[in-house]
Amino acid sequence: MEKLLEEFSLGLFVWQSLAFVILLFLLKKFAWKPILEAVDEREQGIKSALESAEKAKLEMENLQADNEKLLKEARLERDAMLKEARDMKNRMIEEAKDEARDEATKLMQQAQQAIISEKHAAIAELKSQVALLSIDIAEKVLKSELANEQKQTALVESLLKDAKIN
Amino acid sequence: MDRAFKYNLFLSIFLGFTSILTASTEPSGTDKKTEIKAYINHHLKDSYDFSITSYTDDQGQHQYIGFSLPIILWDNGLKVFSSSKFHHGETVAEVDGNFYAIEHNKIYKTDEKGTINYDEHHHPKNAKPLDFSITKSVVMILITGALMFFLFRNLARSYASNGSIAKGAGRFFEPIVLYIRDDIAIPNIGQKHYKRYMSYLLTIFFFIWFLNIFGLTPLGVNVTGNIAITFSLALLTFLITNFTGNKNYWKHIFWMPGVPVPMKIILAPIELLGVFIKPFSLLIRLYANMQAGHIVLMSLIGLMFIFKSWLGSSLSFGLAFAISLIEVLVALLQAYIFTMLSALYFGFAVEEHHDEAH
């Protein structure tokens, strides 16, 4: 320790401190500050460039994803439309078939009804015709037969018999 | 905690290594050996003239190669004269009727004949004038300062002229500047405060590194192995640490949070002592490492002249060469350690208040 103190030179200490402090301030003003600022600026530049590249990449990816999505949507929509069309066609056919069937049955029913009513009418007509004819016949028969009373009564009886059969 | 432990381990390994090296050089008795020892001692010290080498000519006279430096003394008025007046410490210099002589690398006021009176401890009793001479070390400091200013101003300018890209020698130094910022300042001080300390950390790193390297050149000026230099550097770290210390820093010293009151009382003086020990360890570490390196290197070179055989001399030359390679590493390492520890202390000074768990 004593040796160290003996070695200590005040002059050298003063010169060193003075020179170092001056050097510190000179370097700070003319070297360190501009160097660190330049390096900082450069790093910021690199950072922002990288960031914007990353952003562009992300945007690109987004765009691609969007495209993909749109394409998918379009495809889906097309499929849906096709399906709908197919469904509608089927439905229409089905409906048409149903309608046709309904119409046919309706027609059949109408025809049947018409036939029945015609038949009834025909029967009625026939009945009235038969009645007229029988009256005519009866008249003629009566005219010829009813020349005598016996025959008249016999005829009436036989006619009545016949009428009952019908 | 982990980081501090690693540093400690690293430092202790390193310091242990250098102490082994110094222990292996034991000078002893004979004439040649004492001469070499004296030479090494002389080399380790600062000197009043810039001598590169000296030799003894045919007439047995010491001849010096180098140049004189100005001597500046304050002794009842400013006295400035050339160191050539001392004739390398061999004669008495007379200035304005006052006589000065150099004894053990210090200037004393003497009489006409240069008599030095010693006390019982063999210390000179003569008066010492205040000595502000431009010594060899001061010259090296100024040269280093000028070199640094030139180098880094050029680096700063090259950004503007070369589109934000360093040019020339700056390309080598820029990564080191960035390393100090990213791996020393930011991790130790923190993103928020590190900018305030950057100038100091950068200056101190390059200053110590350059001076260490200059110490290894054939000029061999042992500047960073001088206690006055390391004291000055450590003092700056000490002042900056304590003048920028925040409330939390002082609280940790005088009233350690998170421990019981009696413990706080015990810790306060220890912590206060630590405030001084930290920079003191900085100054001793740098001084001892550089001093030791120079001693080892010069001793090994000295061995060549002691062995005087082709085997021994070439072996010690090989060893000296290997050690100088290690010293190049040490030069960088010591600069790094000084900077790193300064940053660590600054980090303590500006640490924000955090959890009680410490």
What pLDDT score does B3 carry? 52
Are B166 and B155 a contacting pair, CB within 8 Å?
Answer: yes
The CA distances from residue B356 to A17, B187, B303, in Å, are 39, 21, 58
Contact A33 B153 (CB under 8 A): no
Predicted confidence (pLDDT) per residue in B226-252, tens digit: 888 999 999 999 999 999 988 888 888
Of B124, B106, B137, nearest in space to B44 by CA = B137
User: What is the structure's pLDDT at B21?
Assistant: 40
Residue A164 contacts B where some CB pair is shorter than 8 Å: no
The more confident residue out of B218 and A65 is: A65
Q: Residue B258 has what pLDDT?
A: 82
More confident residue, A119 or B21: A119
Please tell me the predicted confidence (pLDDT) of residue B355: 52
Looking at residue B221, what is its pLDDT? 79
Q: In the predicted model, is pLDDT for residue A130 greater than 70?
A: yes
Residue with tokens 């009176």: B117
The C-alpha atoms of residue B89 and residue B68 are separated, in whole angstroms, by 12
In which band, very low, low, confident or very high, does the pLDDT at A165 lie, cut at 50, 70 and 90?
low
Assess B4–A contact: CB distance below 8 Å, yes or no: no
Of A10, A12, A24, the CB nearest to B203: A24
Helix (H, G, I), strand (E, B) or coil at B150: helix
pLDDT computed for residue B63 by the predictor? 75
Q: What are phi and psi of B65, to 5 degrees?
A: -110, 125
Higher pLDDT, A166 or B340: B340
Average pLDDT over residues B197-214: 93
Q: Please give the share of chain A, as a percent, with pLDDT higher than 70.
A: 96
d(CA B151, CA B170): 7
pLDDT (mean) for B273-291: 91
Could you tell me if B275 and B252 are in contact, meaning their C-beta atoms sit under 8 angstroms apart? no
List CB contacts (< 8 A) between B135 and chain A: 9, 11-12, 15
The beta-strand segments (E) located in chain A are none
Reported ipTM? 0.81
Nearest to B138 among A15, A32, A38 (CB): A15
CB contact under 8 A, B174 and A35: yes
Query: What global pTM score does this model have?
Result: 0.72
Contact residues on chain A for B155, CB-CB shorter than 8 A: 31, 35
Using an 8 Å CB-CB cutoff, list chain B residues near A48: none
Q: B136-149, pLDDT tens digit by residue?
A: 889 999 999 999 99
Q: Which residues pair with B82 in a beta bridge?
A: B70
Query: In this complex, which of A9, A34, A41 lies closest to B228 when CB atoms are compared?
Result: A9
Mean pLDDT for B76-89 is: 79
- Report the alpha-carbon angle A97-A100-A103, nearest 5: 150
Of B121, B122, B123, B94, give the one whose Cα is nearest residue B109: B94
Cα-Cα-Cα-Cα dihedral sign, residues A20, A23, A29, A35: negative
B130 pLDDT higher than 70: yes
**Average pLDDT in chain B:** 82
pLDDT of residue B6: 53
Looking at residue B29, its pLDDT comes to: 45
Give the three-state DSSP class for B328: helix
Distance of alpha carbon A80 from the chain centroid: 6
Size of interface A-B (CB pairs under 8 A): 127
DSSP assigned state of B53? E
Contact flag A11-B131 (C-beta cutoff 8 Å):
yes
Using CA coordinates, name the residue in chain B closest to A42: B164
Per-position DSSP letters for B155-218, written without gaps between them: HHHHHHHTTS---TTHHHHHHHHHHIIIIIIHHHH-TTTHHHHHHHHHHHHHHHHHHHHHHHST
- Residue of B342 and A7 predicted with greater confidence: B342
Confidence of residue B55 (pLDDT cuts 50, 70, 90): confident
CA distance A56 to chain B (A): 25
Query: What is the model's pLDDT at position B93?
Result: 79
Angstroms from A54 CA to nearest CA on chain B: 23
